[in-house]
Chain A
Amino acid sequence: MRTAAAYPLRSPARIAGRVLAHGILVLLGLVWLVPSLGLFVTSWRSPSDIAASGWWNALVEWRYTLANYGEVLSARGFANNFLNSLIITVPSTLFPIAVGALAGYALAWMRFRGRDFIYLGVMALLVVPLQLTWVPVLRLFNTFGLTGTFAGIWLVHTAFGLPFAVFLLRNFIAELPGAFIESARVDGASELMIFSRIVLPLSLPALASLAIFQFVWVWNDLMNALIFLQIRDKYPLTAAIQSLLGQFGSEWHLLAAGSFVAMSVPLLVFFALQRYFVRGITVGGVKG
C-alpha cells in the first residue's frame, strides 16, 4: 500500500485522484479482457448465431454449443495437430535445458581461456534475429533430410532456445554457494558428478522457470513450424490455425474454437505455475 493509501485520504483532490486511478485500472482491465472474451464466447456459438448477431448478445441470450470444438478437433484434424504440438514441444523443452545447463555450469564455475569471450558471444546471440539464419539452416536441413521431420524441428528449437537457456542458467548457477562445489572438488569428485549431484538439484527453481518459458515459446511458435516442417500432417496447432485462416477467412466458429484449443495448454501452464513465470521474467530478463 504505497501510492494511494500512504497519503492522507481526506482532501477532495486525493479522493478524486483515487477514483480516477481505479477508473483507469478497470477500464484498462476491460480493454485487455474484451478481445479474448469475444472470441471465447464466439467459440461456443453456432455459425448461424454468429452470422445473425454480435457475440455480446450471447451474454444475454444464453445459447451455446459444443459443436464447433467437435468439428475443429475431428473434421479439421486439430486433434492430430494437438498431438503434433506435444510431440514437438516436450523434447524441444528438455534438450536445450540439458545442453544449456552443461554450458552454464562450465561458464560459471570453470576457469579456462576464452570463457568471457564465449559468454559475451552468447549474450550477443540473444539479440540475433532468427530471420538471419532460416535460409542457410533450411538448406542444411534439405541436404541432411531433416526438413519435415520432428527430429529436425527439435534441433531447431534446441539451438534457437540455447542463448536464453545458457544466459539464464549461467547466471543462476554462478550465484550458487561456492563452498559446496569447492569442497566437492577437494574431495576429488569429478566435474560431471558435481554437476549432476550438486548443481542440478540446487538449480531446480531456475530449471523450472526455463522449462516453462521454453515450453510456452515452442508451443506458440509458428514460423519455425512453417519453415522447417512444411507438411500439414506434422503441423502444430499454430500452423494449423494459420492454414485455416488461409482457406476460410471468415469461418469464425472454427477459428475461435481452434484458437482456444491452442491457447488452452499455455493458459493452463500459466495459471498452474504463475509464480515461476513472474520469477523467471524478473530474474532472467526477456527472451525474444
Chain B
Amino acid sequence: MAPGGNRRTPWLFLSPALFLLLAFFVWPTLQTMWWSLHGGTGLVPTEYVGLENYTRLLTGDRLFLRLDRWPPSGALVNTVLWLVLFPALTTTLGMLIAVLADGVRYEKTVKAIIFLPMVISATAASVIFRFVYSPDPTIGAANAALTSLIPGFEPVPWLGRGSVVNFAIIAAAVWIWCGLAMTVFSAAYKSLNQEVLEAARVDGAGPWQTFWRISLPMLARPVTFIVIAMLINALKMLDLVLVMTAGGPRGASRIIGFSVYWEVFNNSRAGYGSAIAILMLLLLIPVILIQIHRIRVEER
C-alpha cells in the first residue's frame, strides 16, 4: 500500500476540519468583504454603496478617526496607542520578572501570582478593575492609595475621564497578559547556553552587561514571538473594553476590535461594522505574512 493509505484517506481525515474552517472562517470572511460595500440597518445590509463606508470611516466618523484637532482621537488612534503600549509593557515587564525571579526562593510563588490573571475571564478581570478604578476612595484601591499617599489628591474617575481611560484599560490588559510573556521568557531564559554565560562571567562581565550583551540577543526569537502575539492581541481586543467601559465615556475608549462589535450589534449597522472588520484584516495582513514566513523558516 502507498504510504498514507489510499488517495482518499487524507481527505477523509481532513474533511471535518476543512468543512468547519471553510464554513466558519473562509466563507464568512468573503461575505464580510462583500457586505462592507453595503449600507442599511439590521443584520442584513441592503443597498450597495460601494466604498462609502470606508470613506465615511476615514473622513466622516469622529468616533473612529478625528484628525482636525490636537491630539487626534477616535478608535483608530486609540488602537495605535494600544499597539505601541501594550506589547511594549507586557514584553518589558514579562522579561523583567522572568529574569529577576530566576533562581530566587519564591520563584514559583511570584510566577504563579503574575500568571493567575491569564486564567480568569476578561469579564471577571473587568469587574476586578472597575472595582480598583472606582472613583469612590472608600471602594477603589487606586484612588484610596493615591489619596492617602499624596496630600490633597483629588480622586480620579479613571474610567470616566477621556484623557486617562485608555491608559487605565491598557494597564488592566497588561495585568492580564504579562504572565504569558513572563512564562515564555522564563522557559527560554532557563534554556540558555550556560557555558556562554559562564564564560562571560569569568571574563568579568557583570549581571547587567551579561543580560544586555549576551542573554537578550539569544532571546530574540521568544521576544519576537511575544511582541507579535501581543500586537495581534491588541488588534483583536474587545471584551475588556466592552465590560469595563462599553467604549465610553462618549466613545473615548473605543478601539477597532470594539467598534466592529458595537456598530454591528449595538448600532445595527452591519455593513458599516463589516467595513471596520475589513480594516482590521488589512492591519493584520502584515502579521499574517510574518507568521507564515516564520513557520516556513522553522519547517526547514
Given A28-B97, A103-B16, A219-B121; A131-B280 close (CB under 8 Å): yes
Segment at the interface with A among B2-10, B46-54, B64-72: B2-10
Q: Does B85 contact A (CB under 8 A)?
A: no
Q: Is the CB of A124 within 8 A of B128?
A: no
Q: Decide: B24 and A54 in contact? CB cutoff 8 A.
A: no
Q: For residues 1 through 37 of chain B, which have their beta carbon under 8 Å from a beta carbon of chain A?
A: 1, 3-5, 7, 9-11, 13-14, 16-18, 20-21, 23-25, 27-29, 31-32, 35
Q: Does A185 contact B (CB under 8 A)?
A: yes
- Distance to closest chain B CB from A174 (angstroms): 10
How far does the alpha carbon of A179 sit from the alpha carbon of B116 in the complex, in Å?
Answer: 41
Interface check B287, CB cutoff 8 A: yes
Is there an interface contact between B127 and A255, defined as CB atoms closer than 8 Å?
Answer: yes
Point out the residue from A2, A51, A106, A262 that lies within 8 Å of B121, measured CB to CB.
A262
Q: Is the CB of A102 within 8 A of B16?
A: yes
Contact of B264 with A286 in the complex, beta carbons under 8 Å: no
Note all chain A residues with C-beta closer than 8 A to B13: 102-103, 105-106, 110, 191, 195
Does B149 lie at the interface of the complex (its beta carbon under 8 Å from any beta carbon of A)? Answer: no
Interface size class on chain B is 35 or more
Distance between B219 CB and nearest chain A CB, rounded to angstroms: 13
Q: How far is the CA of A100 from the CA of B16 in the complex (A)?
A: 9
Of residues 102 to 123 in A, which have CB atoms within 8 Å of B's CB atoms?
A: 102-103, 105-107, 109-112, 115, 118, 120-123
B291 within 8 A of A: yes
Known: A2-B197, A106-B14, A110-B4. A129 touches B277 (CB 8 A): yes
User: Bound state CA distance, A111 and B121, in angstroms?
Assistant: 40
Q: Name B's interface SS.
A: helix
B243 at the interface (CB under 8 A from A): yes
Within 8 A of B (CB), among A6-28: 6-7, 17, 21-22, 24-25, 28
The answer to whether A204 has its CB under 8 Å from any CB of chain B is no
Residues of A within 8 A of B199 (CB): none
Contact B17 A4 (CB under 8 A): no
CB-contacts of A204-263 with B (<8 A): 216, 219-223, 226-227, 238, 241-242, 245, 252, 255-256, 259-260, 262-263
Give Cα A255–Cα B125 distance, bound, in whole angstroms.
12
Q: What residues of chain A lie closer than 8 Å to B25, measured between beta carbons?
A: 125, 128, 133, 159, 163
A145 close to B (CB within 8 Å)? no
Chain B residues near A78 (CB, 8 Å)? Answer: none
Taken residue by residue from 172 to 190, chain A's Cβ proximity to chain B (1 for < 8 Å, 0 otherwise) reads as: 0000000000100100101
Neighbouring A residues of B14 by C-beta, 8 Å = 102-103, 106-107, 118
State whether A132 touches B270 (Cβ < 8 A): no
Taking the nearest CB of chain A, how far is it from the CB of B235, in angstroms? 7
Contact check, A3 vs B284: say whether CB atoms are below 8 A apart: no
Q: Name the one of A112, A162, A219 contacting B20, with C-beta atoms under 8 angstroms.
A: A162
Measured CB to CB, the closest approach of chain B to A128, in angstroms, equals 6
Per-position contact with B for A39-54: 1 when CB-CB < 8 Å, else 0? 1001000000011111
Among the listed A53, A102, A138, which residue makes an inter-chain contact with B17, where contact means beta carbons less than 8 Å apart? A102
Do A282 and B184 touch across chains, with their CB atoms under 8 A apart? yes
**A216 and B119 contact, Cβ closer than 8 Å, known pairs A127-B287, A128-B281, A245-B243:** yes
Contact A127 B257 (CB under 8 A): no
Q: Which of A5, A38, A118, A241 contacts B132 (CB 8 A)?
A: A38
Contact of B114 among A7, A21, A28, A139 (CB under 8 A): A28
Residue of A nearest to B138 (CB): A54
Q: Report yes or no: A131 in contact with B257, Cβ–Cβ below 8 A.
A: yes
Q: Evaluate contact between A263 and B124: CB separation under 8 angstroms.
A: yes
Among candidates A3, A50, A56, A267, residue contacting B100 with C-beta atoms closer than 8 Å:
A3
* Complex-state Cα separation, A115 to B7, whole angstroms: 13
Question: Taking each of A36, A109, A118, A138, which has the highest tally of chain B beta carbons within 10 Å of its own beta carbon?
Answer: A36
Q: What is the total number of residues of chain A having a CB less than 8 Å from a CB of chain B?
A: 109
B167 at the interface (CB under 8 A from A): no
Please state if B180 and A281 are interface contacts (CB–CB under 8 Å). Answer: yes
Q: Is the CB of B131 within 8 A of A252?
A: yes
Tell me the nearest residue of chain A to B142, going by C-beta: A35
Q: What's the Cα separation between A169 and B137 when bound, in Å?
A: 49
A54 near B139 (CB under 8 angstroms)? yes
State whether B103 touches A5 (Cβ < 8 A). yes
In the complex, what distance in Å separates the CA atom of A262 from the CA atom of B123? Answer: 9
B295: min CB distance to chain A, Å: 5
What CA separation (Å) do A3 and B185 show in the bound complex? Answer: 14
A38 touches B119 (CB 8 A): no
Against B, the Cβ 8 Å flags (1 = close, 0 = not) of A124-148 are 1111111111111111101000000
Interface membership of A160, Cβ < 8 A: yes
Is the Cβ of A139 less than 8 Å from the Cβ of B24? no
The 8 A-B residue pairs with the shortest CB-CB distance in the complex, in nearest-first order: A220-B121, A159-B24, A110-B4, A136-B28, A103-B17, A106-B13, A133-B28, A136-B31
Task: Provide 28 A-B residue pairs closer than 8 Å at the C-beta atoms, listed in order of the A residue.
Answer: A2-B194, A21-B104, A22-B104, A25-B110, A28-B110, A35-B141, A54-B139, A55-B141, A56-B144, A103-B14, A110-B13, A112-B7, A112-B10, A112-B11, A125-B21, A129-B284, A132-B32, A135-B35, A135-B274, A185-B1, A191-B4, A191-B13, A222-B239, A245-B243, A256-B127, A260-B124, A278-B187, A281-B183
